[in-house]
Structure 1
Amino acid sequence: MKTIYSPRHHGHAGNVELVAGAVVPAFEMPSRAEYIRSRVEAVKLGPILAPNEHDIAIAKRVHRADFIDFLPTVWPLWVESGRDGTAMPYTWPTRGLRGDVRPQGIDAQLGYYSFDAGATFVAGTWDAIKSSHDVAITAAGLVKAGERAAFALCRPPGHHAGAAFAGGYCFINNAASAAQWFVDQGAKRVAILDVDYHHGNGTQEIFYRRGDVLVVNLHGDPMVEYPFFLGHADERGEGPGEGFNVNYPMPWGTTWETWSAALEEGCRRVADYAPDVLVVSLGVDTFEKDPISKFRLKTEDYPKIGRRIAQLGLPTLIVMEGGYAVEEIGVNAVGVLTGFEEG
């Protein structure tokens, strides 16, 4: 399996986030990608290739153009306003407030285009965002060209980014952009299987009213788990998308037995849909030692995930999302990939 990777992700480093009432160093850090890349090399998974440059207009097929155009302006506007350090929002439009008018000023715009204070900016953030997008589309191109599977080692991740909002360390939704790229290249139906611990709220929001992209999420119960405001089992899509959004929320403490049953059911839904191509949003924050998650999967479970997905027999793009137990992230993420190769 070929891996697409860009060292430009290092530009997004040293930023902080607001979590649990404290401003702390971001859990989403450059070492995550480097542990994975090193493990890919160690197990000789396959060649590691640089991404090609791709037009950002691809991202505008799933995101609002004004949102994408805003992202490269954040750091210059932040500096122009007299600040240094991490650019972070502190106020958001919510129920009872207007969200239809784009305000002026960087602080207001950061809140207008986000849902939390987790997708923060430093000087190199935009270049890392763009390189992550390029990684995903380049890997999609390998699958379109006939590869059985390809791995997009994306950083920053993407599945929390919606049509016009960033959040949860995510800015451009790489999996959604790749799924749309496949549609634009002629795929009639695409499935996205999101196995990250946290619900892919951005991916759901983007495709919720569409029937050409099936979205299946396995995740922590939003009644108690971030991102809280999407991910319930009764969210099935609307209009042309009704029945094409599937959520499997699970309680804290979920182990392999329960989680794998949800994976089995999710894979059946994908198989019934019979897509032309599968996009996997791969998060390994389901791991028992993950510092911000509460599932209890073990290292030996991750190859089983890859083997089950491989049994679908679909051309498959695997896009890296979350996982914050950084010392184990390489073994766990690449475990899914090697399991897929065995399947």
Structure 2
Amino acid sequence: MKTIFSKTQLGHDPKNEISDGELKPAVEIPQRAEIVLGTIRDCGLGEVMEPDDFGVDPLRRVHSADYLAFMESFWARWIAEGRSSEAFPFVWPVRTLREDPVPEHIDGLLGRYSMDSGTPVGEFTFEAAKASANTALTAARLVKQGEKAAFGLCRPPGHHSGPDFFGGYCFLNNAAIAAQWFRDQGAERVAILDVDYHHGNGTQSIFYDRSDVLFLSIHADPKVEYPFFLGHADETGENEGAGFNQNWPLPLGTHWREYARALEEACNKVVAFKPDYLIISLGLDCFENDPISGFKFKSDDFTALGNRLAAIGLPTVFLMEGGYAVDALGTNCVNVLRGFEAGA
């Protein structure tokens, strides 16, 4: 299986995040990608490729023009305000506040275009995010050209980013960008299966009223886990998209055996949808030792996950999302990809 990755993706290098009410060392760090890449090379999984530059048009098909302009200009405006450290938002247009006035101050704009205070923005964040999107698009093109599967080592991740906001360590929604690209290239239907520990709220919000992209997510119950305000079982799509969104919120402490039952239902939904392509939002944070998660996967369970995904029998794009147990991240990722190849 071919892997796509660019060193530009390492430019986003946060030092801290706000978590549990404290300023803590960041967990979405460049070493995540470096360790996965090293394991892929060590085990001989396949060729590692640089992504091509697809330009801004595929991004505009998913994200609003004003959001992209904000991200593009952010660092220059941040510096112009006399700031120099990585940026954190701290105010949001929540209930009773107005959303229509566009702030002129950079702090107001940060709140307008974000969903949490745990996702710092730095000098090279947007360049890294664009390279991550190009990684996803290059993987999609390889599969369109006939590869059975390809792995986009996307970092920063993407599934929490919505049409006009960042959050959850995500700035551009790589899975949504790849799915829309498939559609623009002539695919009638695309399925996205999100197996990250956290719900892919951004991906859901992008496709919630559409029937051409099926979104399925298996994740920790948002009543007790981030992102809290989306990912519940009664969210099934609206308007034309009614019935084309499904969530499986699972309790903290879930082991593979219980997870596998939800996965079976999700895989059957994919097959019934008959998509041209399948995109896997590959979070690896269901691992028992992940520092910010609460499921109980063993490393071998990721092999079983890959086996089951292969049985769906579709051209498949794997895109990296979460996973923060750095020491085991490469092993767990390769286990999924090798499990897929063994089951294909």
TM-score band, normalised by shorter chain: over 0.9
User: Is 1:213 equivalent to 2:204 in the alignment?
Assistant: no
Contact 1:119 1:171 survives alignment (8 Å): no
For residues 16 and 69 of structure 1, the distance between their equivalents in structure 2, rounded to whole angstroms, comes to 25
For residues 303 and 117 of structure 2, the distance between their equivalents in structure 1, rounded to whole angstroms, comes to 33
Give the Å deviation of 1:25.
2.1
- 1:128-173 Cα deviation digits (max 9, x unpaired): 1111011111111101101000000011000000011100000000
Which amino acid is 2:137 matched to?
Answer: I
- 1:261-310 Cα deviation digits (max 9, x unpaired): 11111000001101000000000100000000000011010011111001
Report the counterpart of residue 128 of structure 2 in structure 1: 128
For residues 102 and 308 of structure 2, the distance between their equivalents in structure 1, rounded to whole angstroms, comes to 45
For residues 221 and 309 of structure 1, the distance between their equivalents in structure 2, rounded to whole angstroms, comes to 22
Report the counterpart of residue 149 of structure 1 in structure 2: 149
Contact 2:210 2:244 survives alignment (8 Å): yes
1:1-343 mapped onto 2 (5 Å cutoff):
1-343=1-343
% same residue: 54
Give the Å deviation of 1:118.
2.4
For residues 90 and 52 of structure 1, the distance between their equivalents in structure 2, rounded to whole angstroms, comes to 36
Give the Å deviation of 1:17.
1.5
C-alpha RMSD over aligned residues: 0.8
Give the Å deviation of 1:15.
3.3
Please say which of residues 158-167 and 67-76 is displaced more in the overlay. 67-76
Give the Å deviation of 1:59.
1.1
For residues 238 and 14 of structure 2, the distance between their equivalents in structure 1, rounded to whole angstroms, comes to 40
SS in 2 for 1:42: helix
For residues 32 and 100 of structure 1, the distance between their equivalents in structure 2, rounded to whole angstroms, comes to 38
Give the Å deviation of 1:9.
1.6
For residues 101 and 128 of structure 2, the distance between their equivalents in structure 1, rounded to whole angstroms, comes to 29
For residues 311 and 106 of structure 2, the distance between their equivalents in structure 1, rounded to whole angstroms, comes to 48
SS in 1 for 2:261: helix
Contact 1:277 1:316 survives alignment (8 Å): yes
For residues 266 and 243 of structure 2, the distance between their equivalents in structure 1, rounded to whole angstroms, comes to 13
Give the Å deviation of 1:98.
1.0
SS in 2 for 1:73: helix
Contact 2:14 2:28 survives alignment (8 Å): no
TM-score (norm 2): 0.98
SS in 2 for 1:233: coil
For residues 9 and 185 of structure 1, the distance between their equivalents in structure 2, rounded to whole angstroms, comes to 26
- 1:61-89 Cα deviation digits (max 9, x unpaired): 11111111211211111111001111110
Give the Å deviation of 1:100.
2.3
For residues 124 and 165 of structure 1, the distance between their equivalents in structure 2, rounded to whole angstroms, comes to 17
Contact 1:28 1:324 survives alignment (8 Å): yes
Gaps in structure 2 of 5+ consecutive residues: none
> Which consecutive segments of 4 or more residues in structure 1 shift more than 4 A?
none
Give the Å deviation of 1:101.
2.3
SS in 1 for 2:138: helix
SS in 1 for 2:154: coil
Contact 2:33 2:155 survives alignment (8 Å): yes
Contact 1:75 1:87 survives alignment (8 Å): no
TM-score (norm 1): 0.99
